[in-house]
Structure 1
Amino acid sequence: MTDGVQGQRAAVVFDALGPVYEEAFAHSEAHLASLEWLLGRLAPGSRVLDVGSGTGRPTASTLAAAGHDVLGIDVSPVMVELATRRVPDATFRRADIAEVPLQDGSFDAVCVYFSLLQMSRERQSDLMGRLARALRPGGSLVLATVPVDVEDVAVEFMGQPVRATSFAAEDLVALLNRAGLAVESEHHAMFTPAHPDAAPEPHLFLYCRREETQPAV
């Protein structure tokens, strides 16, 4: 999910949450709707990268059940172990996505569900450029986040202390455009995770396509 110390912090948080995270977010209709959108754009046997794959549900499980070749990357060893058991038809690796080599044009789709929020803005920008280049021209990317204008703010997430960084919606769209991604549509929703320490939070889902011509690096 993140780089260096940020990645270590994220691993601690999600190791502690484990299956509780999946249970808290399993009823997100917006998440499921975004997967349906993605499935409608993929050719049979497409190669999909799931960044911050968590327990593998619902993202990797939905895509793998539809016959796609899914690679999940997560910094949390607990999450990777859970995902490997729960979604045996997908492949999962414990790694920091910032350190994973990504070949240009090697994926038909990329999923980035709430996996940027513990990265610095510089790391988020760098990663989105790499992910855009890893998509084949015309490939699809779905990104979900909490669209608030904050940087390195201490918050409590489901009982776990974290430091969060995010962008306002329009600034995130601009970042994706600079990376070479066209935002075809966006969906805003309020969501309350099923957890006693959770509060309602705004969610933003961006449905994107890689431009045929990538910006100069």
Structure 2
Amino acid sequence: MSDPARGGTAGPAPTCRSTERALQAVAFDAIGPRYSEAFPAKAGQLAAGHRLLAELEPGAPVLDIGCGTGDPTIRQLSEGGLAITAIDLSDGMLSLARQELPGAAAYHRMDLFDLATTRAETAWGLPGLGPAGAGTFAAATAFFSLILLPQREIRPTLKRIRTLLRPGGLLVLGMVEADLDDYPMRFLGQEIRMSGFLREELTETLHRTGFTVEAMNGRPYAPACSALPPEEQLFLHCRRTT
């Protein structure tokens, strides 16, 4: 998912944000199960989940941000005995997750940009994911969900995720290494917008938003059933600095 033009394109004006996010959700409603067809190999994601399971006690509360169909993360972590709260903006993806993994998580439709803000309660009816939920979660996972935000929104979103974590809480993050910002592209017949960082900038961004990167694993990946070029996937194990 790399961008031949360094830096990509400028993001939409703030007043257009809700429209852009609604269009993203509709795109993923249409993509549905074909997403897993394009990314069938999940070794990197599973390895990141395995490390998380090794660090958490049974029953620990975990927030899965941008859960998609729930496979493999919700399946893996729920089978490992963790208590999962899962959010996604796509009704279609949430429907698939509920069908395939009923009872494995508490599923909620929500824009991840609204985590730890009053909109979590007023717009989505989820006070536990708003300011009142500060310090609730032992860990959060965000596999390839933050890449759907413009860079200017990724940084405050990381700070909001930090707010919801306990001191010393963990963030397991999946990103694509690419120097692009809110770049439009075709994916499985839908237009989506993607952002990324080079790994040094990503590490610095996490540091500035209150995280220590304890481990980073890069894996080359060639999407199947898609015209997308090969990409470098980054899996990061981070800890909230106290």
Per the normalisation by structure 2, the TM-score is: 0.82
Q: Could you tell me which of 166, 169, 176 is aligned with 1:139?
A: 169
CA–CA separation in structure 1 for the residues paired with 2:68 and 2:185: 20
Q: Could you tell me which of 20, 34, 52 is aligned with 2:34?
A: 20
CA–CA separation in structure 2 for the residues paired with 1:53 and 1:196: 21
* Bigger Rg over Cα: 2
- Partner amino acid, structure 1, of 2:25: A
CA offset digits 1:84-125 (Å, max 9, x no partner): 111122111111122331522110110011101221112111
Q: Which residue of 2 aligns with 1:93?
A: 108
- Partner amino acid, structure 2, of 1:17: I
The answer as to whether partners of 1:6 and 1:119 remain within 8 angstroms in 2 is no
CA–CA separation in structure 2 for the residues paired with 1:6 and 1:174: 27
- Percent identity, please: 38
The answer as to whether partners of 2:151 and 2:182 remain within 8 angstroms in 1 is no
Q: Which residue of 1 aligns with 2:178?
A: 148
Runs of at least 5 residues in structure 2 that lack an aligned partner in the other structure: 1-16, 115-119, 121-129
- Partner amino acid, structure 2, of 1:20: R
- Partner amino acid, structure 1, of 2:109: R
Q: What is the aligned length?
A: 210
CA–CA separation in structure 1 for the residues paired with 2:75 and 2:67: 10
- Partner amino acid, structure 1, of 2:107: F
Q: Could you tell me which of 82, 103, 120 is aligned with 1:68?
A: 82
Runs of 4+ off more than 4 Å: none
CA–CA separation in structure 2 for the residues paired with 1:9 and 1:196: 20
Q: How does 1:155-194 map to 2 (within 5 A)?
A: 155-194=185-224
3-state SS, counterpart of residue 180 of structure 2: coil
3-state SS, counterpart of residue 186 of structure 2: strand
- Partner amino acid, structure 2, of 1:33: A
3-state SS, counterpart of residue 40 of structure 1: helix
- Partner amino acid, structure 1, of 2:56: L
Instruction: Please provide the CA RMSD for this pair.
Output: 1.5
Q: Could you tell me which of 6, 19, 37 is aligned with 1:5?
A: 19
- Partner amino acid, structure 2, of 1:186: M
3-state SS, counterpart of residue 146 of structure 2: coil
Runs of at least 5 residues in structure 1 that lack an aligned partner in the other structure: 213-217
Q: Could you tell me which of 145, 150, 165 is aligned with 1:120?
A: 150
**1:13 offset after TM fit, Å?**
1.8
CA–CA separation in structure 2 for the residues paired with 1:196 and 1:162: 14
Q: Which residue of 2 aligns with 1:32?
A: 46
The answer as to whether partners of 1:14 and 1:79 remain within 8 angstroms in 2 is yes
The answer as to whether partners of 2:38 and 2:226 remain within 8 angstroms in 1 is no
**1:133 offset after TM fit, Å?**
1.6
Q: Which residue of 1 aligns with 2:73?
A: 59
CA offset digits 1:139-175 (Å, max 9, x no partner): 1111111111112222222332222222221111111
CA–CA separation in structure 1 for the residues paired with 2:35 and 2:182: 22
- Partner amino acid, structure 2, of 1:114: F
CA–CA separation in structure 2 for the residues paired with 1:90 and 1:180: 27
Per the normalisation by structure 1, the TM-score is: 0.91
CA offset digits 1:29-66 (Å, max 9, x no partner): 11111111111111110100011000011011111111
Worse overlay, 164-173 or 68-77 = 164-173
3-state SS, counterpart of residue 80 of structure 1: helix
